[in-house]
Amino acid sequence: MKLYRLVHETNDPVTPDKILTRSSDHSNQKFGPGMYFAISRESAMQFAQTRKYKYTHLLECKVSNVKDCDIVDLVNNPLLITKWKQTGKPIPEEYLRYCTKHELKGIKWEARAGWIEVVIHHPHYLNNVKIVKSERLLQEDG
């Protein structure tokens, strides 16, 4: 599966053929711990423009053990999240339960602002995310 990840060179490798290992396990991401990606360059750049954090590189990555059919698709099935909300339990908990039950590896959703994201949860990203291309992002001096 080809996906895009925004990184800062002080935290992550940016050279093609390197393996990405750092996830978002310590942040308050919507769908819990995992490695977050955009599905396209356009989605990644749209996301980057909404953040104060400055990214140095946009990486095109190949996730070797994940296919489209391994991902919960909330873009085409948005009512699934409504079912999770009705349980009264936290969304990340319900999402992980659903993924475990159906042997799925992640989730895809559309943000309110229009970009589409994917999170691959642990352990499916471990040693499986290879950098294919690295694009240096222009930084404004300021």
Q: Structural domain tally of the chain?
A: 1
Residue 130 in any domain: the answer is yes
pTM above 0.75, yes or no: yes
pLDDT tens for the chain, 142 residues long, are 999 999 999 999 999 999 998 886 655 567 777 899 999 999 999 999 888 888 999 999 999 999 999 999 999 998 888 888 888 888 888 888 899 999 999 999 998 888 999 999 888 998 999 999 999 996 654 4
Residue 87 in any domain: the answer is yes
Residue 142 in any domain: the answer is no
Give 115's Cβ-side CA count (13 Å radius).
18
For helices 91-102 and 79-86, angle between their N-to-C axes, nearest 10 degrees: 110
Residue 115 in any domain: the answer is yes
Residue 114 in any domain: the answer is yes
Residue 9 in any domain: the answer is yes
Give the residue numbers spanning the domain of 42: 2-136
pLDDT at 142: 41
